[in-house]
Amino acid sequence: MDTQTVHRVQAYVDGELPEQERSEVEAVLAADSDAKELLEALEEGRKWLRTNELGRVVPEPRDFYWAQVVRGIEQAQAQAAEAEAQQLESEPLHREGRLIAGWVRWLLPVGGLAALMMAFVFSEYVPSGGPVGGIEKAASYHEVDHTVENGGLITFRSDSEGVTVVWITSE
């Protein structure tokens, strides 16, 4: 018996042959007594191994165990994200809710920017004639006249330009 026939009989016993080759091997087994003896010996050895071999449990290494834990966590997170996406798709927003959500998305940043601009504008405003921090200041572009003996004094202050001009006149 040739080596190829031996391998084909072994594959036949293990159930690894496609249907066409399986029928060819059965024809060889019916015609060749050596192939039939090999088949019986292989089936007997297989039966003996199944009944007499001790079962062994191979311990899992730590990295394999933790890799399984990580894989399980990732699968659970993916399933949770998928379930959340399906829930959001299944709960349609009402038209009014979508409209409000769209306005809020733009209104909040624009409103915040407007509030900052107003704070900046009003921080530069100093009311005329009123005390600010215990110091009385003149408002921008306000003239203050002082009288000086034998002459006059006119002061002009511009806070926005950062300029103070003083005119001294003599009589």
Q: Is 164 helix (H, G, I), strand (E, B) or coil?
A: strand
The Cα-based distances of 168 to 56, 154, 155, 165 in angstroms read: 111, 6, 9, 10
pLDDT at 157: 82
Cut 0.75: pTM above it: no
User: Which among 48, 44, 28 is positioned nearest to 36, based on CA atoms?
Assistant: 28
- CA dist 103 and 157 (Å) reads 45
How many Cβ atoms sit within 10 Å of the Cβ of residue 63?
A: 8
| Antiparallel, parallel or unpaired: β 163-170 and 151-158 | antiparallel
Taking a C-beta distance cutoff of 8 angstroms, is the pair 28, 5 a contact?
yes
Q: What is the DSSP letter of 53?
A: P
User: Which among 28, 27, 29, 49 is positioned nearest to 37, based on CA atoms?
Assistant: 29
Q: pLDDT tens digits for the chain (171 residues)?
A: 789 999 999 999 998 999 889 999 999 999 999 999 999 999 999 898 888 877 777 777 888 888 889 999 999 999 999 988 887 776 655 555 666 777 778 888 888 899 988 888 877 665 555 555 545 554 554 555 555 566 677 778 888 888 888 777 776
Domain boundaries, the chain: 3-52, 139-170
User: Which among 131, 51, 61, 114 is positioned nearest to 43, based on CA atoms?
Assistant: 51
Taking a C-beta distance cutoff of 8 angstroms, is the pair 12, 25 a contact?
yes
- CA dist 79 and 121 (Å) reads 52
In our burial notation (b when 16+ CB lie closer than 10 A, e otherwise), range 104-141 reads eeeeeeeeeeeeeeeeeeeeeeeeeeeeeeeeebbeee
